[in-house]
C-alpha cells in the first residue's frame, strides 16, 4: 500500500498530526508531492486526480472530502490515490482563506450579504448549527423540542454561499494544480524510466562480458 504506516498511530497522534504534521506542513507537502509523482499511472490520470482532490477542498462537505474526491476522480478517469492525497491541500493553514474566498464569492454571486449580527462570527455559526444537530438528535429519543433556527442560519449564511462560491475558485486552483503537477510527474517518470533502462543496459553488458570471459 502506498500510504501504509509501519506503526499504528493513536487517536491523539492523528489529531495532532492533522493540526501540525511532524516536520511542519512544508515537509508534509514535499512528502505528498513525492508520493503523488511516484504513483504507478499515467501523468494525465495522476494530474486529473490532483485536480479532483484540490477542487474538493473548496466544497463545504467537511468529513466527506475523501469520498467526494474519489467520486470526482472516478468521473474524470483520474487516479483516485492522487485525488485522496491532494485533498490535503485543505488543511488548518488553508481552510480559513479557502472559506473566506468561497463565502465572499458565493454571497456576491447570490447578491446577498452575511448577516453577522445573527451569530456574531462564522465560528459561532458553525457551533450553533452543531448544537442544533445535537439537540435534534436527542429530541428523536426524548420529548424535547427540535430546533432548526441555527441550522437555517448556517444553511443560508454559510453552506449555500460556500457551495456556490467555491466552484469558481476551486476550478481555478484545481487547474493550476493540474498544470503544475502534469509536467512534474511526466519529467519524473521519464527520468525514472531512463534510469531503469540504463541500469538494465549496464546489467546486460556485464552479463555479456561475463559470457565472453567464460567462452574465452
Question: What residues make up the domain containing 87?
Answer: 14-184
In sign, the C-alpha dihedral spanning 102, 108, 110, 112 is positive
**Nine cell digits for residue 32:** 505528498
HSE-CB of 142 using CA atoms within 13 angstroms: 9
Instruction: Encode pLDDT of 161-177 as tens digits.
Output: 999 999 999 999 999 99
Identify the pLDDT of residue 13.
56
Average pLDDT rounded to a whole number, residues 27-41: 63
The pLDDT value given to residue 118: 40
**C-alpha dihedral, 34 to 38 to 43 to 44, nearest 10°:** -80
Residue 206 placed within a domain: no
**How big is the chain by its Cα radius of gyration, in Å?**
24
> Does any domain span residue 112?
yes
Identify whether the C-beta of residue 32 lies closer than 8 Å to the C-beta of residue 87. Answer: no
* Chain segment 51-102, per-residue pLDDT in tens: 999 999 999 998 899 999 999 999 999 999 889 888 888 877 788 889 889 9
158 located within any domain: yes
Q: Which residues lie below 8 Å from residue 189, measured CB to CB, with a gap of 6+?
A: 37, 43
Q: Is residue 6 part of a domain?
A: no
Q: Convert the pLDDT of each residue in 137-156 to its tens digit.
A: 787 778 777 777 878 878 88
Are 73 and 49 within 8 A, CB to CB? yes
126 grid coordinates: 458553525
Considering the chain, what is the average pLDDT of its residues? 78
Instruction: Please give the Cα distance from 149 to 128 (Å, whole number).
Output: 9
How much is the pTM? Answer: 0.72
The model's pLDDT over 187-201, given as tens digits with 9 standing for 90+, comes to 888 877 787 777 777
Domain count, the chain: 1
Establish if 189 belongs to a structural domain.
no
More confident residue, 17 or 184: 184
Backbone angles phi, psi at 136, to 5 degrees: -70, -30
Residue 194 domain-assigned?
A: no
Instruction: Answer yes or no: is 49 within a domain.
Output: yes
Q: How far apart are CA 26 and CA 166, in angstroms?
A: 25
Q: Tell me, yes or no, whether 25 lies in a domain.
A: yes
CA–CA gap between residue 6 and residue 120 (Å, rounded): 45
Amino acid at each position: 500500500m502506498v500510504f501504509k504506516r509501519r506503526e499504528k498511530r493513536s487517536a491523539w497522534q492523528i489529531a495532532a498530526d492533522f493540526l501540525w504534521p511532524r516536520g511542519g506542513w512544508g515537509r508534509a507537502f514535499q512528502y505528498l508531492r513525492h508520493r503523488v509523482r511516484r504513483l504507478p499511472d499515467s501523468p494525465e490520470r495522476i494530474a486529473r486526480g490532483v485536480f479532483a482532490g484540490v477542487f474538493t477542498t473548496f466544497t463545504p462537505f467537511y468529513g466527506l472530502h475523501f469520498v467526494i474526491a474519489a467520486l470526482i476522480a472516478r468521473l474524470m478517469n483520474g487516479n483516485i490515490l492522487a485525488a485522496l492525497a491532494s485533498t490535503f491541500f485543505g488543511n488548518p493553514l488553508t481552510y480559513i482563506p479557502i472559506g473566506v474566498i468561497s463565502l465572499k464569492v458565493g454571497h456576491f454571486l447570490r447578491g446577498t450579504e452575511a448577516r453577522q449580527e445573527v451569530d456574531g462570527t462564522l465560528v459561532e455559526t458553525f457551533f450553533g448549527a452543531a448544537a442544533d444537530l445535537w439537540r435534534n438528535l436527542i429530541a428523536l429519543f426524548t420529548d424535547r423540542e427540535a430546533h432548526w433556527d441555527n441550522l437555517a442560519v448556517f444553511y443560508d449564511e454559510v453552506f449555500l454561499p460556500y457551495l456556490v462560491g467555491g466552484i469558481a475558485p476551486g476550478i481555478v486552483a484545481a487547474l493550476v494544480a493540474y498544470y503544475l503537477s502534469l509536467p512534474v510527474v511526466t519529467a519524473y517518470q521519464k527520468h525514472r524510466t531512463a534510469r531503469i533502462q540504463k541500469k538494465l543496459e549496464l546489467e546486460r553488458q556485464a552479463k555479456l562480458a561475463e559470457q565472453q570471459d567464460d567462452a574465452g
